Amino acid sequence: MRNRPLRLGHGATLTLLICAALPGCQEESPAAPPPGQPPPATGWIIVLATVGGQDIDPDGFAVSVNGGEPRSLGAGAATVFADLAPGTHTVSLDGMAPNCEVRDPNPRTVAVLARTVTPVVFAISCHAHTTGSIRVVVWTAGFQTFGASLGGGPVVQSQTGEVVFGGLPPGVYAVELHIDARSCQLDQPYIQSHTVVAGRVTLVSYALTCPNPTGSLIVEAVTSGTNQPGQHSVYITPTTDGYCYEGLCRSVWVVATGQVRIDSLAIGAYYVWLRSLPRNCAAAPASRTVLIAKDSTARAAFSVSCV
């Protein structure tokens, strides 16, 4: 459509009247001039979107002038950009659904005159959806990479926690999940059949439940000297002050000369003490720092001398 500027004697007032007569129109308030100065000679652009066809995008569009902040524009609605300096300006329409297209040039370059409203009309045509898509999501306590494939085809790896297969003709598809789920429990079969409907997204979701990774610790004590106790108290905590939080500390006994194994410790760093020693006994070292790794066994050895 040809842009035909409207010369106004009282541009702002008429622009408001034009905008008020259009459904969904937004009008940008002009900036007030400094006190004692005449208002600048600026113009306006009013942008309209006409949409026809089938499966019209319900989210509307985004329109901007000269690459500025985009503004929402619904189908059949209009919006006004005010305080534009005379000269050429570029109007862009974005946010169109894949099944919609603009029949006119986009972006559009238009000339704005002082105290003039320049209309810009975008004619948009939408056609009926002919394809659908499948979205594969794995719900788990922590992000875990996975892949998915359709009908035994190539595996697509997830980059954002999901895999999307688009542009699929309607029909039934076999979705296969590719994930390392050892020691974990999956709530659905790895391979599932799902129907794709044109214009819709078919969600395929899996719930993966994995136990928290743990490791083990072996504490060994070698006691020498006289008046030895029969056993020592071993205290394991993730803090240096001996404070226990979130159930991460343990207290066990080890024979004076021997060892004890502690399993199912959450992975991380721990401090290990032999505490409540008799006054005639001393441990070397007084404490040890150990790192508990997944499915591994750490060791902490103490030498106790008694007199």
- The gap between the terminal CA atoms of the chain, to the nearest Å, is 103
State pTM to two decimals: 0.44
User: Domains (ranges, CATH) in the chain?
Assistant: 6-126 (2.60.40.10), 132-209 (2.60.40.10), 214-306 (2.60.40.10)
Mean pLDDT, the chain, rounded, equals 83
pLDDT tens readout for residues 263-289: 988 888 889 989 889 999 999 998 899
Cis before residue 107, ω within 30 degrees of 0?
yes
pLDDT tens readout for residues 73-102: 988 889 999 999 999 999 999 988 878 888
Q: Mean pLDDT throughout 11-31?
A: 48
Portion of the chain with pLDDT greater than 90, in percent: 44
Find, among 124, 188, 191, the residue nearest to 155 by Cα: 191
pLDDT tens readout for residues 222-235: 999 999 999 999 98
Question: CB-hemisphere CA count at 13 Å for 137?
Answer: 8
pLDDT tens readout for residues 195-205: 999 888 899 98
| Band (219; pLDDT cuts 50, 70, 90) | very high
- 40's enclosing H/E stretch is none
Amino acid making up residue 100: C
Of 4-18, 42-56, 171-185, 265-279, the poorest mean pLDDT is in 4-18
Q: Does residue 34 register a pLDDT over 70? A: no
Q: Does residue 256 register a pLDDT over 70? A: yes
